[in-house]
Amino acid sequence: MERAGRRFARRDVADAVAAVVLALFIGYAVVDPPGASSWWPDWAAWPVGAIVGLPVAVRRRRPRAMLALACATAGLATVAGAVAAGAIWMSFLPAALVLYLVAATTSAAWSVAGLAGCASTAVIAVLIFYRQIFPRLVPAAHPSELPTAWPIEIGVICVLLAAGWTVGTAVRWKRGTTDRLVRHLAESAVADERRRIARELHDVIGHSMSLIAVKATVANHVAEARPQEARAALAVIEQTSRSTLTEIHRVLDLLRSDGDSHQPPAPMPGTADLPELAVHARSAGVEVDLAVREEAALPPAVAMSVYRIVQQALTNVVTHAARTRCSVTVDIDEREAVIEVVDDGPRHGRQSRIRRGGHGLVGMRERVRMYGGTFHAGRRPEGGFRVSARLPYEPDGGGA
């Protein structure tokens, strides 16, 4: 607010200085005109200049009212003969400056109306001056370099008004385009954030619900014959449910807009949490061999993407291959992270469903695409499924 106030104060000062300069130029033109001298006394030139230039000083307060005032004062001064023959256009300079602001800050209809009104006033005032007042003025002692003729005066005034209106209209168009672009970028950022949160929720819920479904099926089948195994399955379901709720709360915290700075953000999952994923998959009956080789510390965003890709790949194994053997390899160096998840397929030799078009593969592919990496997923000729991803990254966390 203080910075905006200072900016407006500087603009007001600049407008006041411009008004003073214009008043001096107009007064000087009346005192030493290029054409016939005005019948008004010389001292009146300075009050006339001040009155005609006044709208420029306060044009930002009421642009449309000041445009009407600038146009009216210039027209009245011209009709009253208080202006300089051959330099009447200088009296309409303040109107051109105010018209610029009107065109830049108001609607197109108001700016066109202002342009038409100022041009009409100028044409009528100049014609009256040259028809009724100019013939009665004392001729200039020295002829002007520019002939004092009404077509020249009207032409110069119309050019000045058109220039002010054109520049103001261009400024308004540019501001409107910039505002639309900013809104578009903001909406795109919101949409991207929503998609990211949707991917997070899909990965969290999909992984956990797959494990819960498998364990619930086991508990339901062995509840009477092997109650100990059923209780163990329920314990896994309880633990998975609690950890899932924690992660869901962490993801949903991203949607909060209250800006609570007292609540520390929950840590993002990373490569250190991969063993826990393997434990969850083993509890669902998948024999997981996890190998992680880290030669460099990953940026947090890249580490979370690695975690989510492995999580989704293991979720697919649990969901589609059930009890099988799976190897997870994560190789990290200073420039890229390479992930490979390979399973042997269901031991009964039949896939429960095709994995090619699932949302999980789409989410993994999008995560890899963010870093400009490569992603492959498909069935192996010898059976099973293979997921591989390469995430190049810069040390600052951006894509390579």
Q: How confident is the model at residue 387 (pLDDT cuts 50, 70, 90)?
A: very high
Where among 155, 184, 213 does a domain terminate? 184
Q: How far apart are CA 150 and CA 287, in angstroms?
A: 98
Q: What is the pLDDT of residue 278?
A: 86
Asked whether residue 248 is domain-assigned, the answer is no
Asked whether residue 259 is domain-assigned, the answer is no
Asked whether residue 247 is domain-assigned, the answer is no
Q: Is the pLDDT of residue 136 over 50?
A: yes
Residue with the two structure tokens 């001040």:
50
Q: What is the pLDDT of residue 169?
A: 92
Q: How confident is the model at residue 356 (pLDDT cuts 50, 70, 90)?
A: very low
Dump pLDDT digits (tens) for 267-280.
Answer: 677 888 888 888 87
pTM, to two decimals: 0.51
pLDDT top residue among 218 and 99 = 99
Count of domains in the chain? 2
Same domain, 70 and 172: yes
Contact predicate 60/101, CB 8 Å: yes
Q: Is the pLDDT of residue 264 over 80?
A: no
The lowest-confidence range among 118-122, 228-232, 311-315 is 228-232
Dump pLDDT digits (tens) for 191-220.
Answer: 766 676 666 666 666 666 666 776 677 677
Dump pLDDT digits (tens) for 70-95.
Answer: 899 888 888 887 787 777 888 888 98
Residues of the chain with pLDDT > 70: what percent?
A: 73
Q: What is the pLDDT of residue 163?
A: 92
Asked whether residue 220 is domain-assigned, the answer is no
Asked whether residue 309 is domain-assigned, the answer is yes
Q: How confident is the model at residue 166 (pLDDT cuts 50, 70, 90)?
A: very high
Same domain, 76 and 178: yes
Asked whether residue 221 is domain-assigned, the answer is no
Same domain, 175 and 276: no
Asked whether residue 198 is domain-assigned, the answer is no
Same domain, 175 and 318: no
Same domain, 126 and 9: yes
Q: What is the pLDDT of residue 251?
A: 62
Same domain, 277 and 151: no
* Distance set, CA 41 to CA 30, 38, 47, 148, 162 (Å): 10, 8, 11, 21, 33
CATH of the domain at 305: 3.30.565.10
Q: Is the pLDDT of residue 44 over 80?
A: no
Selection from 128, 123, 66 nearest residue 96 by Cα: 66
Q: How far apart are CA 119 and CA 348, in angstroms?
A: 89
The lowest-confidence range among 7-16, 90-99, 103-112 is 7-16
Q: Which amino acid is at 17?
A: V
Same domain, 158 and 280: no
Average pLDDT over all residues of the chain: 78
What's the domain range around 44?
Answer: 2-138+145-184
Residue with the two structure tokens 């997981």:
288
Same domain, 278 and 180: no
Asked whether residue 255 is domain-assigned, the answer is no
Q: The tokens of 284 are what?
A: 């669902």
Where among 156, 184, 212 does a domain terminate? 184
Same domain, 163 and 279: no
pLDDT top residue among 3 and 280 = 280
Same domain, 22 and 159: yes
Q: Which H, E and C letters describe the chain, residue by residue?
A: CHHHHHHHHHHHHHHHHHHHHHHHHHHHHHHCCCCCECCCCHHHHHHHHHHHHHHHHCCCCCHHHHHHHHHHHHHHHHHCCCCCCCCHHHHHHHHHHHHHHHHHHCCHHHHHHHHHHHHHHHHHHHHHHHHHHHHHCECCCCCCCCCCCHHHHHHHHHHHHHHHHHHHHHHHHHHHHHHHHHHHHHHHHHHHHHHHHHHHHHHHHHHHHHHHHHHHHHHHHHCCCCHHHHHHHHHHHHHHHHHHHHHHHHHHHHHCCCCCCCCCCCCCCCHHHHHHHHHHHHHCCCEEEEEEEECCCCCHHHHHHHHHHHHHHHHHHHHHHCCCEEEEEEEECCCEEEEEEEECCCCCCCCCCCCCCCHHHHHHHHHHHHCCCEEEEEECCCCCEEEEEEEEECCCCCEC
Selection from 188, 271, 373 nearest residue 365 by Cα: 373
Same domain, 277 and 157: no
Same domain, 42 and 154: yes
